[in-house]
Amino acid sequence: MAKPRELRRRIKSVQSTRKITKTMELVATSKLKRAQDRVVAARPYAAALAEVIGDLYAPELAERFPLLRQPGGKSRRVALVVITANRGLCGAFNANLIREARRRIEQLESEGAGVDLHLIGKKGITYFKFAKRPAASQRTDIGDKPTPSHAAEVVGPLMTQFESGALDAVEVVFAQFKSAVVEGGRGRQTTSSSPPPTRSSNNSCRSTCAIRCTGRSWKPRRRSSARSGRR
């Protein structure tokens, strides 16, 4: 049986650990709130930019600007950009991204397309190195605060290859934030802008282009009080 002095020492140690973990929790909550605010603030800009790019599409412009071209038939060569984190301890964040990347690679290769893998983040690089999957490029210097210059360095070579016809499509696998407990991997094709869909029907618009139109906004009905009408 432990002596009273030993028990007091253990209790003090547990209390000290509790203070440290509480401080870490507060810091993590603050960082999460700032990151969440940045994501929510960037969504309207991304949606408006996708709409502008979609409205720019026209067959005559595609002849003058190669970035607007629509490759005919199936894609022969696809660049897949996989964005993961440099660190772990974030639940299924990296696992969901890697799972989505594997699913997309298998789908493209089953259709007869070649896949050039471009990896951003240590977790993705480590996994595909373990899986003995060669990567066309890899980067670990971007971190959780990317800048426009980082984006330009990543997409610059891909745009050049797409303009020359070496690539038929460029796709990005990234994390789509939904809530603090739900965040799944998602793939999106970034090249080959599609013509704007007709806006006569919200349902057809939603099924044609989920980025440009979200359908009708939902507003909750005001419930009448249970005592309404009673005096």
Catalytic residue (one of 90, 205, 209, 213): 90
Q: Are 205 and 213 in contact (CB under 8 A)?
A: yes
Measured distance CA(138)–CA(81) in Å, rounded: 9
Residues 6+ away with beta carbon under 8 Å from 57:
68, 193, 194, 195, 196
205 is catalytic: no
Which residue, 161, 156, 176, is CA-closest to 83? 176
Measured distance CA(111)–CA(168) in Å, rounded: 14
Measured distance CA(198)–CA(55) in Å, rounded: 11
Residues carrying an active site annotation: 90
